[in-house]
């Protein structure tokens, strides 16, 4: 009996956690129709497809879900969002889950996306804009350096078309940008 009560509390706390993040609030009105999964171009890569992700939040399966690769495969195409009959925004829910996964240290090692986000933010924070070459080198060093060999021809093509600067360039107004980023951190949206 006591165990059931603890489990019930855990269930409520997970759905409340998702609802508390902007974009997560609508999850309670899902009717499990599966239109989001049917619309999702990457669903075949997910451990649990979009409809099931939503069901798992409502069932309180926090650990299973947060340590899966599912939400990290969302490419923000918003097909699910425009088609959902309940006006839920599954893409926003996936991003809310990414935030919770990072905050709770559960982000999966089976997806490179969390590392890519981190490299992207570090690069933007340092220069005010993304320095693509530096960001990609950092990403490959942190994930799979040999994967860089496959992309070398693409990089060379971009370089010869002057689309891949060798040096970073910094924006004016770094002070203002830092103030914005600090505020975002204060609000809990960035680390
Ligand atoms: S399309 Fe909307 S209502 Fe249907 S399962 Fe997905 S989120 Fe739920
Ligand atoms: S926004 Fe994300 S979850 Fe929705 S269809 Fe596109 S990839 Fe799938």
Dump pLDDT digits (tens) for 90-140. 999 999 899 889 888 876 677 888 899 889 989 998 899 999 999 999 999
Ligand 1 atom nearest to CA at 31:
3
Question: For 85, which DSSP code?
Answer: T
Considering only CA atoms, which of 145, 191, 136, 143 is closest in space to residue 168?
Answer: 136
- Mapped onto helix, strand or coil, the DSSP state of residue 9 is helix
For ligand 2, mutation pick of 77, 87, 96 (most atoms within 8 Å of CB):
77
In this prediction, residue 11 carries a pLDDT of 59
> For a pLDDT cut of 70, what percent of the chain falls above it?
91
For the chain, the straight-line distance linking the first and the last C-alpha, in angstroms and rounded, comes to 39
> Contacts by 162-169 with C-beta closer than 8 Å and gap 24+?
164/132, 164/133, 165/131, 165/132, 165/133, 166/133, 168/123, 168/126, 168/127, 168/131, 168/134, 169/127, 169/129, 169/131
Q: Is the pLDDT of residue 44 over 90?
A: yes
In this structure, which residue's CA is closest to atom 4 in ligand 1?
33
Q: Secondary structure of 95-150 in the HEC alphabet? A: HHHHHHHHHCCCCCCCCCHHHHHHHHHHHHHHHCCCCHHHHHHHHHHHCCCCHHHH
Fold of 2-103: Fumarate Reductase Iron-sulfur Protein; Chain B, domain 2 (1.10.1060)
In this structure, which residue's CA is closest to atom 2 in ligand 2?
74
Q: Residue 49: pLDDT band by 50, 70, 90 thresholds?
A: very high
In this prediction, residue 185 carries a pLDDT of 80
Per residue in 141-166, pLDDT (tens digit) is 998 888 888 888 888 999 999 888 99
With the CA atoms of 152, 114, 38 and 26 taken in that order, what torsion angle do they form, in degrees rounded to the nearest 10? -150
pLDDT (average), residues 158-183: 90
With the CA atoms of 35, 36, 42 and 46 taken in that order, what torsion angle do they form, in degrees rounded to the nearest 10? -110
The CA 188 to ligand 1 mean position distance, Å, reads 27
> For a pLDDT cut of 90, what percent of the chain falls above it?
49
Where are the domains positioned within the chain?
A: 2-103, 113-186
Q: Which residues line ligand 2 (CB under 6 A)?
A: 36, 39-40, 42, 50, 74-80, 90-91, 94
């Amino acid at each position: 009996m006591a165990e059931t009560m603890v489990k019930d509390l855990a269930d409520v706390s997970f759905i409340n956690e998702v609802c508390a993040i902007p974009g997560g609030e609508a999850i309670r009105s899902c009717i499990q129709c599966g239109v989001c999964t049917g619309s999702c171009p990457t669903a075949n890569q997910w451990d649990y497809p979009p409809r099931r992700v939503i069901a798992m939040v409502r069932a309180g399966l926090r650990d299973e879900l947060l340590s899966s690769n599912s939400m990290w495969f969302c490419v923000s195409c918003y097909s699910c969002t425009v088609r959902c009959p309940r006006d839920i925004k599954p893409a926003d829910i996936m991003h809310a889950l990414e935030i919770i996964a990072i905050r709770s240290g559960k982000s999966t090692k089976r997806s490179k996306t969390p590392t890519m986000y981190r490299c992207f933010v570090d690069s933007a924070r340092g220069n005010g804009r993304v320095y693509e070459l530096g960001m990609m080198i950092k990403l490959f060093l942190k994930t799979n350096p040999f994967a860089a060999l496959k992309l070398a021809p693409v990089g060379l093509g971009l370089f010869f078309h002057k689309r891949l600067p060798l040096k970073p360039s910094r924006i004016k107004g770094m002070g203002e940008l830092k103030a914005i980023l600090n505020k975002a951190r204060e609000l809990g949206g960035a680390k």
